[in-house]
Amino acid sequence: MIFRFDRFELDLGTVELRENGRPLALEPQVFAVLALLIAQRDRLVSRDDLVATVWDGRVVSDAAIASRIKSARQALGDDGRAQRFIKTVHGRGFRFVAPVAIPSQAVSAPEPPPEAEPAVDPGARPSIAVLPFRFIGEPGPYAAIADGLPDELIAELARLRWLFVTARGSSFRLRAADVTLEDVGRRLGVRYCLTGTAEILGSHLTVAVELSDTRDARIVWAERFDGGVGDVHRIRADIRARVLIELELRIPQHEANLARLAGSENLDAWAAYHLGLQHMFRFDRAGNAAAAALFERAIGLDPGFARAHAGRSFLHFQSAFLRHTADRDGEIARAHRCAERGLELEPLDPFVNFTMGRCYWLVGDLGRSLPWLERATAISPSYAQGMYARAWTEALGGRPDEGRAHVDVAMRLSPLDPLHYAMLATRALAHLAEGDDPTAAAWAERAALAPGAHVLIAMIAVAAHALGGDPARAAAWAADVRARDAALGQADFFRAFPMRSEALRVRIATGLARFGL
């Protein structure tokens, strides 16, 4: 696609910015910033949007962002005072304000391939082929690793209900050394390809795995696994677990980033859904509203998209849980209906089962919640958010030791999860239930300081510090609670955190009351 404005052209195909037909030198990140602003010119692009797209969610300074904006302006002959092309909205973000035209381009039909081959459907769910791994050097008695590991991965990935996995009988006909990634995508009709190498030096085994996009051969994720050849079975387990986790995180993030650059008019159902997820995990009213619109778009394009219905359930849950609306009962009912619709469409999707389990949190029915969460983690044992939700239910339901064990698994599975703050808070609640208040206070402090933590997490910090003997920190967090929501009280807290143990409820209520909550 080519965007034309003023005397410039931004060509996404050749990754060029041209002035009167003359290419201009532009750093890759500056080009990406400019491409995002132009593609999203009908809306404000926030700092978080830039970080998610240009820096893949990594932590970057405001100075780094300002530097790329300045470079983009300089390339266009603009500056911070004139702002003819890029307008700064202080404290909120940036917007491309110059008129943009997209010239029509005649595209000739490609020659048909010599034999019928599947085409990648851009609107279908993501698809992947796992190729046999390649041995570097002589494998000796370990030659089976090269076929055995990818064969196990195919079986594991087939459990991800949102992902189409090419069967072994087809993918094993292609060896990575013999074909290009583009060949794999064209011949098997897949968007993604997982390849790997194995090497043995003496008694040391190294396995390298890469996830690539077959459309442009871009590496989406790569990792190395090392150990002694005697540890091969542990390495196998590590690879299986890590690949499952990374695909759950990386493919959605990659699809959403592609959707951002493509522009909203080109969003297909899957891209709209995953772009919605990025807004959903902001945990605020604006994020919920943006995610709801994208989930609705996804359902409009594909009414049978189970995860989009589950996403709507998640949003209604958040509105009820975080008191975003006065119609709490209505939000609970809507969350339940959307989860039920997701289950009708795809009963074996772990995210769908997760949303159904959390619906029962809203009415304090932990007994009915737990089986759904156990089902979600049985379907996908590496599903970190399901494992956390199960731990939360166990901690409040009188099984804190099980809850602590399961939340530790969740944090190992996904240390950068959007719900990491909730995992830390679950650990704190488990220690409170066990009577270990100082340890609970340490975990609650981490939870309340974690990105995304909402005001109810701060209330856990108040109670834990009050019970753990640190009145100064308890008072500081109580002041934070009042500043964020002066109307919040114990009734709201215990509605959100239903506790089976009356003794625990009394202790936490006492701790909150000491600091005016």
Residue 308: closest CA among 295, 319, 289: 295
pLDDT at 56 (0 to 100)? 62
Enclosing H/E stretch for 462:
helix 455-468
Residues 347-377 have pLDDT tens digits of 888 889 999 999 999 898 999 999 999 998 8
Residues 7-57 have pLDDT tens digits of 998 887 677 888 888 888 888 788 888 888 888 887 788 888 788 777 766
pLDDT at 436 (0 to 100)? 93
| Whole-angstrom distance, CA of residue 249 vs CA of residue 75 | 35
Q: What's the chain's average pLDDT?
A: 83
Residue 185: closest CA among 131, 112, 256, 225: 131
Instruction: Assign 129 to helix, strand or coil.
Output: strand
Enclosing H/E stretch for 19:
strand 16-19
Residues 401-442 have pLDDT tens digits of 999 999 998 888 777 678 889 999 999 999 999 999 999 999
| Whole-angstrom distance, CA of residue 230 vs CA of residue 273 | 43
473 φ, ψ (degrees, to nearest 5): -70, -35
Query: Residue 263 pLDDT more than 80?
Result: no
Question: Which of 235-244, 299-308, 463-472, 488-497 shows the lowest mean pLDDT across its residues?
Answer: 235-244
Residue 51, C-beta contacts closer than 8 angstroms, at least 6 positions apart: 57, 58, 60, 65
Neighbours of 172 (CB within 10 A): 17
